[in-house]
Amino acid sequence: MAFKVTPWEVSGDVDYDKLIKQFGTERIDDALLRRIQKHSGRLHHFLRRRLFFSHRDMNWLIDQHEKGREWALYTGRGPSGHTHLGHLIPWMFTKWLSDTFNVPLYFQLTDDEKFLFKETLSLEEANGFAHENALDMIALGFSPKRLKILIDTEHAGLMYPEAIRVAKKITYSTTKAVFGFTNDTNIGQIFYTSMQAVPAMIPSILAGKKVPVLIPHAIDQDPHFRVARDVLPKIGYEKPASIHCRFLPALYEGGKMSASVSHTAIYTTDTAKQVRDKVNKYAFSGGRATVEEHRKKGGDPDIDVSFQYLTYFEEDDKRLQSIRDDYESGKMLSGELKAILIEKLNRFLVKHQEKREKARTRLDKYLLKA
């Protein structure tokens, strides 16, 4: 089945092997996992389960780490609405990397991007969501020393001079080829990728020396960093490394959980009841049509969205395996599997929501001052 992955649209049944070839990235293999494990101890379950599956230049980054060089993490969010569980996947992994390797994170909120790309979103709304989304990152437990937040329209003084250095090296024909722009595209969109390159330069600018950067993200953002990796060495910076995750699927239908289809996404601001109702009503089930048939033939965890979500949110490998076994054998029904997921998500979200409310008055401490 055909699928499409661009920074603005993901649809169909994504074939991640094909995507590695199409985008020209590298698969995360056992040798790389062993190298990471040498430094991290036990691997994060996103790595153990290959939910992060692809990368650019991770071996180079580990070389730099082994040489004792300081490095930094960079990730981001296009604030078009509230944060959903899909966005949290690269962010939770980034938090683990920051803790494990003792490195800071630069977090970009691209209110300019979402204003330019979303027909009906005002700049004020996008900026408001930037402030809301920032709370979710802070709620993951970062200290202000480790997390530096950049909001494009508010950090323009720092970012714009760097963005035009990048922009000068990118031709219209490159952006057309990479992003599929046409004559109808507004010129802000054409310029935008220069802004997404800048936080990969900021750690070096602030330190006054070259600082390697690793960018964790879902694979849809890779086109931006393909361009950035091409340009940065031309203007005196190292190519950023990157590490890519699969998409947390939408509750039903193919593709990724997407903020623009609200009933197929679970937001960090959803109430326990909303989570329960959405999972019960919409989560695509790999169960059988009748209880009798299910008991006899068992369910299919590999197409069951609730089970897929548990591969992200249930860290305990043994527990996950026992759920898989029970579901496959028919001992566990779809409704029971959904109940496990609902409990897991709501337990996480109650705590997360408390922390994100506390973050509201502390946001200022996290905004990059430069």
User: Which residues of this protein are in contact with ligand TYM, per CB under 6 A?
Assistant: 7, 74-78, 86-87, 89-90, 108, 110, 113, 196, 215, 217-218, 220-221, 245, 247-248, 256-257
Phi and psi dihedrals of 216, rounded to 5?
A: -85, 135
Start-to-end Cα distance in the chain: 48
Identify residue 240 by its one-letter amino acid code.
P
Task: Please say which residue, 98 or 196, places its beta carbon nearer to ligand TYM.
Answer: 196
Q: Which is nearer to ligand TYM, 196 or 334 (CB)?
A: 196
Considering the complex, state which of residue 36 and residue 150 has its C-beta at the smaller distance from ligand TYM: 150
CB atoms near residue 42 (< 10 Å): 9
Closest CB to ligand TYM among 117 and 327?
117
> Least distance from C-beta 265 to ligand TYM, angstroms?
8
Q: What is the DSSP letter of 11?
A: E
Nearest to 141 by CA among 104, 97, 92, 87: 92
CA–CA separation, 350 vs 172, rounded Å?
47
Name the minimum Å distance from CB 10 to ligand TYM.
7
- What φ, ψ does residue 299 adopt, rounded to 5°? -95, 170
Q: Give 10 or 333: the residue with its C-beta nearer to ligand TYM.
A: 10
Sequence-distant (≥ 6) Cβ neighbours of residue 274 within 8 angstroms = 266
DSSP 234-284: GGT-PPPEEEEEPPPBPSSSSSB--TTSGGG--BTT--HHHHHHHHHHHS-
Q: Which is nearer to ligand TYM, 53 or 247 (CB)?
A: 247
- Distance CA(283)–CA(319), nearest Å, equals 21
Token pair of 7 as six digits? 């920074």
198 vs 267: CA distance, rounded Å:
28
Dihedrals φ, ψ of 164, to 5°?
-75, -25
Please state, in angstroms and rounded to a whole number, the distance separating the CA atoms of residues 337 and 285: 9
Q: Cβ 117 to ligand TYM, closest distance in Å?
A: 8
Task: For the CB of residue 93, give the shortest distance to ligand TYM in the complex, in Å.
Answer: 10
User: What 8-state DSSP symbol labels residue 56?
Assistant: E
Shortest Cβ 81–ligand TYM spacing (Å): 9
Q: Which amino acid is it at 7?
A: P
**Between 62 and 89, CB nearer to ligand TYM:** 89
Q: To the nearest whole angstrom, how small is the minimum distance from the Cβ of residue 246 to ligand TYM?
A: 7
Cα 137 to Cα 62: distance, rounded to the nearest angstrom: 25
Minimum separation from the CB atom of position 325 to ligand TYM (A): 26
Task: Report in angstroms how near the CB of residue 231 gets to ligand TYM at its nearest.
Answer: 15
User: In the complex with ligand TYM, which residue's Cβ is closer, 248 or 340?
Assistant: 248
Structure tokens at 194: 């220069």
Query: Between 261 and 336, whose beta carbon lies closer to ligand TYM?
Result: 261
Give me the least distance between CB of 42 and ligand TYM, in Å please. Answer: 22
The number of C-alpha atoms within 13 Å of 339 and in the hemisphere containing its C-beta is: 6
